[in-house]
Structure 1
Amino acid sequence: MASNFLYIFDNDLRSNYLPILDDFIVKVNQDPSATLSCIYLFDPSQLKVQLFNSAYLGNHRLLFLSECLQDLGLVLANRGISFQIVLGNKASNLNKVLVDRKITDVGFSSPVGTDEINLFTLLQQSDVNLHQRFQHTLFAQHELPFDLKELPHSFSKFRKLVEALPLDSFFSQYERLTKVNDALTTSETITKQLYIQFEQSFNLFCRHPNVEVALKEATSNRRNFNSGFEGGETNVVAHLHQYFSLNCASSYKETRNFLDNWTASTKFSAALASGSLSPKYIWHEIVKYEQLNGANESTYWIKFELLWREYFQWYGARYREKLFKFSGINNKKPLNSFYAERYKKWCDANTPSAFINAIMNQLKATGYISNRSRQITASYFVNELNLDWRYGAAYFQEMLIDYDVASNWGNWQYLAGVGCDPRGKRQFNIQKQQQCYDPEGRFIKRWADKVNNTALDSVDAADWPILSDEGVS
């Protein structure tokens, strides 16, 4: 019986360093009767408001995703690999593909999110050979210096354990690994046919009514606010090389907390979240940069941030559904609730704080805010507004162009005091943060030029209107 291989793309939208796909390519090249096809499952219902009053996927990330898919379709077609976007319910469509194509082997990156885990759990009930591993991380699971069940309870302990390994030489293997990526065929006719096939599925994706409207809005916002993010492996690799050519890495630690500067931080996060770049590739390029320009605290800090991301990937894999629990991983419920008015004011950039409003306006307009801004506005959400942290995490999930399930929910847990921070809840002094990072008010002037004197609440705890000297405030 001929082997028919299926690779399912998800948050790994690249052609380089995907060990499972590489292995499938080698096997198909060795067996002329074998076939290989790739799909991306997309459910348009992800654009609708769901749990915690937010959609799973917002306009900014959808635009970035569409560019990733379009670029990947061209690259795969040029390598003789069939790739289609499959629209609709993921579970039923996946079952249909397995039957119609008589699939014998299925490969995919090990997921972290519970929805994705549940989807791929269905495959265990089918009569196919499963091939999966973590391909969005620096380490493979067997390379970790501890069992996943023994994941350290703090990032500091995790970092000390992994930094005891020779990481620079460990990840320098990246260049050798990517050379496995051979093409299946060089036939120009087949390449053209495969790209036409992909384009048909891509056009159906773009013309879906919900998708089409969202893409137009996101494109308009990108043009109006001059966002630098462009999706697709080709674009993000070009950005990576440009970033390191500008010597920005040597001053990264000093600039990374700037609120509104494109070159102040690496801007690799969207590429990492979509899987357009492997973190191994980034580490490999940092080492090359250090060899040419010298290593310093800033170049180390980029590695530090990659390890921070890495910790939360394994944190998500370790705790799974607890990543989304109100009581977090410690079963300790925070003293927060849900106040609809406060939540809406935070989302609408209509709070009493001009600084918070500026951050939230920037997020809505561009789909991106700095790491410092995320911590500040999340602290305000949890500590000043006393809101259920999950609603804030879900809003970030919808709005952020670089949303990553483990990093987003893990960091919100960390700040809310229900996650991996042994010191408990983190609280930022908003005024102090404003004085430190926007002392001249330029950021506020750009993103929240109108002073808002709105009171935090219009009703008291018993829903009675709050009165001022003039009447209802």
Structure 2
Amino acid sequence: MGTGLIWFENNLRIKDNKALAEACKNHDRAIAIYCFDPRKFEITKYGFPKTGKFRAKFLIESIIQLQENLENLNISLLTFQKKPEEIIPEIAENHKIEAIYFQEEWTSEESKVIEAVKNKLPNTEFRSFYTQFLFHPDDIPYNDFSVIPKVYTEFRKKCEKQVEVRKEIEIPQQKPDSNLLKNTSEIPNLDQLGFEEFQQDSRTAFPFKGGEDEAWKRIQQYFWDTKKLSEYKQTRNGLLGKDYSSKLSAWLANGSISAVSIYHEIKKFEKEITKNEDTYWLIFELIWRDFFKYISLKHGNSIFKLGGILNKELDWNFDKTNLKNWINSETKEDFVNANMKEIAATGFMSNRGRQNVNSYWAKELKQDWRAGAAYFESVLIDYDVHSNWGNWMYNSGVGNDPRDRKFNIKSQADRYDPNNEYQNTWLQH
């Protein structure tokens, strides 16, 4: 039975985690590893770090909690501020690892890292699992990813009709005490990752911490204590406060909770409290998230290219002053400025805000949409590679929007912030 290694990446949970469950089932001993890969904190060509301070802090909190939760199962989580291909082979050798278990990834940077680790360990078995979906790739009604439809509605309707969401995978049984290693590795703090400590802005709509327990606390609060889920569709275009939407995206993004777990909790709520259009709408949004993942599986690196998945030749510009003004909230649109102030101060922005600032950057200023997407990648707490780049393509006219809409920022502000409450919150400080 030997020793199995669980390599954690964006699946930072013990509940509904196939890689963890399989490693525990197949081996007498199991150890876990997480790498704070220095490449994720490097400065990009646009001049900001790939992972900024907000997500870095949320990640540290998530890893601290994962380490504690694994320790309760008598599994040690070793953490390193190193590239996976540098440290995993060393760990594998020292602990006579027979197999490595991890979450399947397919975007280019992640794939390169996985390949680099595999190349260093030709005699080790690697077992990966698709665990970031609501609808598992083996269950969807498409023979291969190349036939995934271009339009969300078609994908959603077919999957809703034909796919049953899988059951959650239970938390594995506790390993014997002897399984715990003397863990001398350290979880880095913000300073060690290159950031200064900071205080949370009191105006934030996302006053939450990272980690699996925190994700479940939020579900308890949003579903069961306040029952806000029962009005989600009506409030989801809100701009202020923590309860206008579920705010589950950040935990979903780093895998502190799974889409499958959230789905089953919604179903439980529908059975015990109420079932309406609002409760369904959160499932609708989970399917959108899946759709963008399938789009990136279908199109590969096209999601990072200027022409997007449509390979569209549009007249794009790139001007550093424009980028600076957009980031620093110095555009001619107050509604855009307020949203850009919020994201800069908190690492969060409403869905409504994201669509507007994206549309302004790409459709009004006609600036290279990828610079905007890269800025979001840096600052967002809930950055998810597929949703971020998928949404940016969509709102920039090179993705999955069949109507290629352009937002009228003024009328959007009038509609969603009629009393200027949101704009005043962010522009008068």
Structure-2 residue corresponding to 1:151: 148
CA offset digits 1:138-190 (Å, max 9, x no partner): 122211111222111111110011011364xx34x22xx315x11112x3xx5
Is 1:325–2:310 an aligned residue pair?
Answer: no
Q: Distance in 2 between matches of 1:115 and 1:54?
A: 18
What residue ranges of structure 1 are gaps of 5+ in the alignment?
A: 30-34, 451-473
Is 1:165–2:165 an aligned residue pair?
Answer: no
Matches within 5 A, 1:47-86: 47-86=41-80
Structure-1 residue corresponding to 2:320: 340
- SS of residue in 2 equivalent to 1:264: coil
Tell me: CA distance 1:383–1:166, structure 2 relative to 1, closer, same or farther (3 Å).
closer
Matches within 5 A, 1:36-115: 36-115=30-109
TM-score by length of 2: 0.94
Structure-2 residue corresponding to 1:132: 128
Q: Distance in 2 between matches of 1:9 and 1:437?
A: 40
Question: C-alpha displacement at 1:298, in angstroms?
Answer: 0.7
Q: Distance in 2 between matches of 1:369 and 1:337?
A: 25
- SS of residue in 1 equivalent to 2:183: helix
Question: C-alpha displacement at 1:221, in angstroms?
Answer: 2.8
Question: C-alpha displacement at 1:94, in angstroms?
Answer: 2.8
Q: Distance in 2 between matches of 1:48 and 1:348?
A: 21
Q: Give the structure with the larger helix fraction.
A: 1
Structure-1 residue corresponding to 2:221: 242
Is 1:360–2:357 an aligned residue pair?
Answer: no
Please tell me the residue identity of whatever aligns with 2:291: Y
Question: C-alpha displacement at 1:98, in angstroms?
Answer: 2.9
Q: Distance in 1 between matches of 2:256 and 2:92?
A: 26
Give the root-mean-square deviation of aligned CA atoms: 1.9
Q: Distance in 2 between matches of 1:25 and 1:163?
A: 32
Question: C-alpha displacement at 1:51, in angstroms?
Answer: 3.6
Q: Distance in 2 between matches of 1:52 and 1:309?
A: 27
Matches within 5 A, 1:344-423: 344-423=324-403
Structure-2 residue corresponding to 1:178: 170
Q: Distance in 1 between matches of 2:268 and 2:204?
A: 33
- SS of residue in 2 equivalent to 1:420: coil
Q: Distance in 1 between matches of 2:39 and 2:133?
A: 28
- SS of residue in 2 equivalent to 1:53: coil
Structure-2 residue corresponding to 1:448: 427
Please tell me the residue identity of whatever aligns with 1:136: Q
Structure-1 residue corresponding to 2:192: 209
What residue ranges of structure 2 are gaps of 5+ in the alignment?
A: none
Question: C-alpha displacement at 1:385, in angstroms?
Answer: 1.4
Give me the identity figure in percent.
Answer: 32
Between structure 1 and structure 2, the one with the greater Rg is 1
Q: Distance in 2 between matches of 1:164 and 1:183?
A: 38
Query: Is this contact kept in 2: 1:417–1:426, CA < 8 A?
Result: yes
**Over 4 Å off, 4+ runs:** 222-227
Q: Distance in 1 between matches of 2:383 and 2:407?
A: 23
Q: Distance in 2 between matches of 1:366 and 1:345?
A: 18
Structure-1 residue corresponding to 2:291: 311
Q: Distance in 2 between matches of 1:427 and 1:340?
A: 23
Please tell me the residue identity of whatever aligns with 1:385: L
Q: Distance in 1 between matches of 2:363 and 2:41?
A: 29
Question: C-alpha displacement at 1:27, in angstroms?
Answer: 1.8
Query: Is this contact kept in 1: 2:204–2:348, CA < 8 A?
Result: no
Question: C-alpha displacement at 1:371, in angstroms?
Answer: 0.5
Q: Distance in 1 between matches of 2:155 and 2:14?
A: 30
Pick which of 386-395 and 326-335 moved more: 326-335
CA offset digits 1:385-427 (Å, max 9, x no partner): 111000000000001000000000011011111112233x321
Query: Is this contact kept in 2: 1:112–1:313, CA < 8 A?
Result: no
In structure 2, which of residues 216, 221, 232 is the aligned counterpart of residue 252 of structure 1? 232
Tell me: CA distance 1:123–1:149, structure 2 relative to 1, closer, same or farther (3 Å).
farther
Please tell me the residue identity of whatever aligns with 1:184: K
Question: C-alpha displacement at 1:54, in angstroms?
Answer: 3.2
In structure 1, which of residues 197, 222, 225 is the aligned counterpart of residue 183 of structure 2? 197
Q: Distance in 2 between matches of 1:207 and 1:287?
A: 38
Structure-2 residue corresponding to 1:142: 138
Query: Is this contact kept in 1: 2:141–2:163, CA < 8 A?
Result: no
TM-score by length of 1: 0.86
Question: C-alpha displacement at 1:223, in angstroms?
Answer: 5.9
Query: Is this contact kept in 2: 1:334–1:416, CA < 8 A?
Result: no
Count residues in correspondence: 425
Query: Is this contact kept in 2: 1:20–1:132, CA < 8 A?
Result: yes
Please tell me the residue identity of whatever aligns with 2:66: L
- SS of residue in 2 equivalent to 1:141: coil
CA offset digits 1:9-58 (Å, max 9, x no partner): 011000111112211101224xxxxx321111112342231144332201
Please tell me the residue identity of whatever aligns with 2:127: H
- SS of residue in 2 equivalent to 1:156: helix
Query: Is this contact kept in 2: 1:16–1:178, CA < 8 A?
Result: yes
- SS of residue in 2 equivalent to 1:243: helix
